[in-house]
Amino acid sequence: MTNLTSSPGTEALPVVKETKSAGRKPEAKREVKAFTGLAHIALFAWALVTAGPLIWVLLASFKSNTEIFLGKPFALPEHFSLDTYFDAWGEAHIGRYFLNSVIVVLISTAGTMLFGSMAAYVLARYKFFGNRFIYYLFVSGLAFPTFMALAPLFYILKNMGLLGTYTGLVLVYIAYSLPFTVFFLAAFFKTLPYEIEEAATVDGASHTRKFFQIMMPMAKSGLVSITIFNIVGQWNQYLLPVVIMTGPGAESKYLLTQGIANISTSAGYHAEWSTLFAALTLSILPMIVVYAIFQRQIQAGLTAGAVK
Amino acid sequence: MRRGKYPFIIGFLIVPVALYCTFVVAAYLQTFQLSLSSWSGLGPIEYVGFDNFTKLWHDELFWKSIRHNIFLLVLLPIVTIILAMVFAFLLNVGGGHRGGTTRGVWGSKVYRVIFFFPQLLALAIVAVIFGRVFGPDKSGMLNGLFPESWKPWLFLADERYAMLCILIVLIWQAVGFYVVLFSAGMGSIPAEIYEAAALDGATRITLFFRITIPLLWNTVQVAWVYLGIAAFDAFALVNIMTVDRGGPNGASSVLSLMIYRNAFEFSQAGYASALGVVLFFLTLTFAALTLRVTRRDSVEA
Identify whether residues A55 and A108 lie together within a single domain: no
pTM of the model: 0.84
Identify whether residues A166 and A24 lie together within a single domain: no
pLDDT tens, chain B, 301 aa long: 456 788 888 888 889 999 999 899 998 888 888 888 888 777 777 788 788 888 888 888 888 888 889 999 889 999 999 999 888 888 877 655 554 455 666 777 788 888 888 988 888 899 989 988 888 877 778 877 777 777 777 887 777 888 888 999 999 999 988 988 888 888 777 778 877 887 887 777 787 788 778 888 878 888 888 888 888 888 888 888 887 777 787 788 888 888 888 888 888 888 888 998 998 888 888 878 877 776 645 444 3
How many domains are contained in chain A?
Answer: 2
Is A145 in Cβ contact with B204 (below 8 Å)?
A: no
Return all residues near B243 (Cβ < 8 A) that are at least 6 apart.
Answer: B156, B157, B162, B252
User: What 8-state DSSP symbol labels residue A161?
Assistant: T
> What is the per-residue DSSP string for A55-94?
HHHHHHTTS-HHHHHT--TTSPPSS--SHHHHHHHTTT-H
Asked if B260 is an interface residue toward chain A (Cβ–Cβ < 8 A), one would say yes
Residues of A in contact with B263 (CB under 8 A): 150-151, 154
Residues of A in contact with B222 (CB under 8 A): 306-307
Identify whether residues A29 and A128 lie together within a single domain: no
pLDDT tens column, B168-211: 999 999 998 898 888 888 877 777 887 788 788 777 778 778 87
Is A36 in Cβ contact with B96 (below 8 Å)?
A: yes
Of B8, B19, B138, the CB nearest to A70: B138
Is A145 in Cβ contact with B233 (below 8 Å)?
A: yes
> What is the per-residue DSSP string for B87-147?
HHHHHHHTT-EETTEE-PPTTHHHHHHHHHGGGGS-HHHHHHHHHHHT-SSTTSHHHHHS-
Identify whether residues A155 and A22 lie together within a single domain: no
Would A66 be classed as within a structural domain?
no
Residue type (1 letter), B16: P
Rounded Cα distance, B105 and B83, in Å: 17
Rounded Cα distance, A93 and A87, in Å: 8
Identify whether residues A250 and A203 lie together within a single domain: yes
Task: Identify from B85, B138, B139 which residue to disrupt to test chain A contact, counting A C-beta atoms within 10 A and taking the largest count.
Answer: B139
pLDDT tens column, B266-284: 888 888 889 989 988 888 8
pLDDT at position A30, please?
A: 65
Asked if A206 is an interface residue toward chain B (Cβ–Cβ < 8 A), one would say yes
Q: Which residues of chain A have pLDDT under 50?
A: 1-24, 308
Asked if B130 is an interface residue toward chain A (Cβ–Cβ < 8 A), one would say yes
Task: Identify from A66, A285, A299, A302 which residue to disrupt to test chain B contact, counting B C-beta atoms within 10 A and taking the largest count.
Answer: A299
Q: Which CATH number belongs to the domain containing residue A99 in this structure? A: 1.10.3720.10
Counting one residue from chain A and one from chain B, the pairs whose CB atoms sit within 8 A come to 304
Task: Identify from B132, B168, B213 which residue to disrupt to test chain A contact, counting A C-beta atoms within 10 A and taking the largest count.
Answer: B132
pLDDT tens column, A7-59: 333 333 444 434 444 444 555 566 667 777 787 888 889 999 999 999 988 88
Residues of A in contact with B23 (CB under 8 A): 153, 156, 171-172, 175-176
Radius of gyration over every alpha carbon of chain A, rounded to an integer in angstroms: 26
Residues of A in contact with B96 (CB under 8 A): 32-33, 35-36
Rounded Cα distance, A170 and A178, in Å: 12
Residues of A in contact with B240 (CB under 8 A): 261, 264
Task: Identify from A46, A197, A260, A290 which residue to disrupt to test chain B contact, counting B C-beta atoms within 10 A and taking the largest count.
Answer: A46
Identify whether residues A44 and A164 lie together within a single domain: no
Range of the domain at A54: 1-60
Rounded Cα distance, B175 and B76, in Å: 10
ipTM score assigned to the predicted complex: 0.84
pLDDT at position A10, please?
A: 38
**CATH code at B50-300:** 1.10.3720.10
pLDDT at position B49, please?
A: 78
Coil, helix or strand for B47?
strand
How many Cβ atoms from other residues are within 10 Å of residue B176's Cβ? 27
